[in-house]
Amino acid sequence: MKTLKRPRSLSATGFLLIVTIGLFVLMYAAGMLAFSGQGFAKPQMFLNLFISNAGLIVISCGMTLVMITGGIDISVGSVTALVCMVVAYQMERNGASAFTAILFALGIGLAFGIVQGFLVAYLDIQPFIVSLAGLFFGRGMTAIVSTDMISIKNETFLAWAKYQIYLPFGSNNKKGIYQPAYIYPTVIVALLVVLFIFILLRYTKFGRKVYAIGGNQQSALMMGLNVRRTKFEAYLLDGFLAGLGGFLFALNSCAGFVEQAKGLEMDAISSSVIGGTLLSGGVGNPIGTLFGVLIKGTISSLITTQGTLSSWWVRIALSALLCFFIVLQSIITSRKQKQR
**Residue 59 CB, nearest distance to other proteins (Å)?**
16
**Residue 180 CB, nearest distance to other proteins (Å)?**
36
Among positive and negative, which fits the CA dihedral 320, 325, 326, 328?
Answer: positive
The H or E element spanning position 171 is strand 165-172
Side-chain-facing half-sphere of 64: CA atoms under 13 Å:
31
**Which residue, 177 or 222, has its beta carbon nearer to other proteins?**
222
**For other proteins, how many residues bind (rule: CB under 8 A)?**
75
Show the binding pattern over residues 231-250: x = contacts other proteins (CB under 8 A), - = does not.
Answer: --------------------
The secondary structure of residue 9, as a DSSP letter, is P
79 binds other proteins (CB under 8 A): no
- Sequence-ordered list of residues with C-beta below 8 angstroms from that of 292, at least 6 positions apart, any chain: 20, 60, 270, 271, 272, 273, 274, 275, 276
Q: Which of 6, 174, 175, 338 binds other proteins (CB under 8 A)?
A: 6
Interface positions, 85-104, toward other proteins (CB under 8 A):
none
The secondary structure of residue 255, as a DSSP letter, is E
**Residue 160 CB, nearest distance to other proteins (Å)?**
29
From 104-112, 140-148, 152-160, 246-254, span contacting other proteins (CB under 8 A): 140-148
Interface positions, 209-228, toward other proteins (CB under 8 A):
209, 211-212, 214-216, 218-225
Interface positions, 181-210, toward other proteins (CB under 8 A):
199, 202-205, 208-209
251 binds other proteins (CB under 8 A): no
Concatenate the DSSP letters of all residues of 188-255 into one string: HHHHHHHHHHHHHHHHSHHHHHHHHHHH-HHHHHHTT--HHHHHHHHHHHHHHHHHHHHHHHHHHH-E
Alpha carbon 337 to chain centroid, angstroms:
30
Among positive and negative, which fits the CA dihedral 256, 140, 271, 284?
Answer: positive
163 binds other proteins (CB under 8 A): no
Interface positions, 279-308, toward other proteins (CB under 8 A):
279-280, 282-283
From 5-13, 83-91, 171-179, 240-248, span contacting other proteins (CB under 8 A): 5-13
**Residue 97 CB, nearest distance to other proteins (Å)?**
28
Are 50 and 261 contacting, i.e. CB atoms less than 8 angstroms apart?
no
153 binds other proteins (CB under 8 A): no
316 binds other proteins (CB under 8 A): yes
